[in-house]
Amino acid sequence: MGGNGTSVPPNVVYITLRSKRSKPTNIRGSVKPKLRKKHAFPLPYGQRFPVGVTGQEEALSQQQGRTSYSMGLMREAVVPETPRHQLKKHWDGEREAVGRGHQRHVGVSGRINVQPKARESNIRIYSERSPSWLSKDDILSMCLLADSRIDSVQEAPSQHGVLLVFERNPSATGAACSQGYCGLIKRPLDMSEVFAFHLDRILGLNKTLPSVSRKSEFIQDGLPCPIILWDSSLAPTNNRTHSSVRLNWGSYQQLLKQKCWQNGKVPKAEWGCTEIHHHEWSKMALFDFLLQVYNRLDRNCCGFKPRKEDSCVQKGLKQKCEDQDSVDLTHIIQRRHDPRHLVFIDNKGFFDRSEDNLDFKILQGIKEFPESAISVLKSQRLREKLLQSLFLDKVYWESQGGRRGIEKLIDVVERRAKILLTYINAHGAKVLPMNE
């Protein structure tokens, strides 16, 4: 905001599409960038200065008030330690305080003088507002995962993997991971986790954990890899199924028929319902079909022809499809304080699966679909929104080959979306609001 109370115009326009391409394979090149260099600055998370700032730059920043510019707001470079659930309150209070005291940094034109020495953030937000489908907490988490210093590395307590513990204010007390300052690092091959996060938010499902791509010294050859926000509120999981609910395919199909908890209906004991609301399965099925995530509802690959590198083939699970009702569902996760709703983890999707080998078993038993997601698929704006959203993650964008590579991934999802809409019409499935 300018010193005279007027809004500063955005200095970058998000990617838009002039017209819908007639052929998905005819990919346009990236727009030629302007000569004027634009800086995006990180949101600090407890560290005094971003990684890579020299001693001279630190002294200069101290002399100039240790300020940084992010999302059109002037913020103090040192953020007091605060638990994760208090970050939003702290952000709002800090915005108000800075709004009262930043006039000395405003030039004659009314624009804020940005310090050019600050390190550029890997989350690119150049205008006043981020895309509407990303919440303020989403942006905070993305900047934390992408830009914060790494304080230590430790083994993940309930999943196979490695946790990055991010640096906090020295006066902070309590476990860092319980306060939201940890990220689960995954393999470079799991980069579709980042795409899944953005697709989830655009569809209005809000079931995945924030995820960004980051280059790390802990990965061989410095390849970028996905970092997923660690959520200590997730319910403990069974070691064999990695689920907080024990459920096999046969019992899952039965509870779909009972529509557990829909319209406030309390299920009877003989129905075999879990605490999970009926609508959650519809959201999961839609999401998994678009990305062809099979490790939740079809971990034995019974609904499609897998490749030799798929985990179900390597583990010999494909041979167990004769008795499908006994196959366990995996990665069915809830939060301890919210057992009615699911959290989507391990969202490894596959973009190289052809349209004649899609896993339709994921949709079996689903008679209703979420209205918010279907409206996005029908709006012809899925491509535009994905481009705008994925552009924020600089490392992911570049690792996929820029706009040309991102467009190819979107081509795949758009074709699957058309197939899904055809499936819904052919089977007479209902489209309902699912915002309970």
Residue 175 pLDDT level (bands cut at 50, 70, 90):
confident
Cα angle 241, 212, 292 (rounded to 5 degrees) comes to: 45
Asked if the model's pLDDT at residue 103 lies above 70, the reply is no
Residue 315 within a domain: yes
The per-residue pLDDT for 171 is 80
Lowest-pLDDT range, 261-275, 294-308, 343-357?
A: 261-275
Asked if the model's pLDDT at residue 13 lies above 70, the reply is no
**What 3-state class would DSSP assign to 95?**
helix
The dihedral sign for the CA sequence 291, 297, 301, 307: positive
In one-letter notation, the amino acid at residue 33 is P
For the stretch 353-364, pLDDT in tens is: 999 999 999 999
Percent of the chain residues topping a pLDDT of 90: 54
Mean pLDDT of 189-193: 95
For the stretch 360-387, pLDDT in tens is: 999 999 999 999 999 999 999 999 999 9
Mean pLDDT of 253-280: 90
The per-residue pLDDT for 237 is 83
Residue 161 within a domain: no
Mean pLDDT of 326-334: 93
The per-residue pLDDT for 219 is 67
Asked if the model's pLDDT at residue 48 lies above 90, the reply is no
Residue 254 within a domain: yes
Percent of the chain residues topping a pLDDT of 70: 71
Asked if the model's pLDDT at residue 6 lies above 90, the reply is no
Nearest Cα neighbor of 198 from 185, 188, 215, 212 is 212
Residue 278 within a domain: yes
Residue 54 within a domain: no
The per-residue pLDDT for 274 is 94
The per-residue pLDDT for 17 is 57
Q: Rg for the chain (alpha carbons), in Å?
A: 23
CA–CA distance, 364 with 375 (Å, rounded to integer)? 21
Higher pLDDT, 17 or 297: 297
The per-residue pLDDT for 305 is 94
Asked if the model's pLDDT at residue 49 lies above 50, the reply is no
Residue 136 within a domain: no
Higher pLDDT, 276 or 7: 276
Element (DSSP H or E) covering residue 279: helix 278-291
Here the tokens at position 152 are: 């230590």
Asked if the model's pLDDT at residue 30 lies above 50, the reply is no
Asked if the model's pLDDT at residue 139 lies above 90, the reply is yes
Residue 108 within a domain: no
CA–CA distance, 215 with 151 (Å, rounded to integer)? 16
pTM of whole model > 0.95?
no
Range among 10-19, 131-140, 169-178, 210-219 with highest mean pLDDT value: 131-140
Average pLDDT, the chain: 79
Q: Which domain holds residue 428?
A: 249-432
3-state helix, strand and coil shares in percent for the chain, rounded to the nearest 5: 35, 15, 50
Asked if the model's pLDDT at residue 59 lies above 50, the reply is no
Tally of domains in the chain: 1
DSSP secondary structure of 50-71: -TT--HHHHHHHHHTTSEEEET
List C-alpha distances in Å: 56 to 24, 62, 121, 198: 50, 10, 20, 38
Mean pLDDT of 324-342: 94
Here the tokens at position 112 are: 């804020």
Q: How many CA atoms lie within 13 A of 168 on its CB side?
A: 19
Asked if the model's pLDDT at residue 24 lies above 60, the reply is no
Residue 226 pLDDT level (bands cut at 50, 70, 90):
very high
Residue 173 pLDDT level (bands cut at 50, 70, 90):
confident
Lowest-pLDDT range, 86-90, 202-206, 209-213, 384-388?
A: 86-90
List C-alpha distances in Å: 86 to 71, 105, 125: 20, 28, 23
Residue 97 within a domain: no
List C-alpha distances in Å: 228 to 76, 196, 212: 26, 11, 7
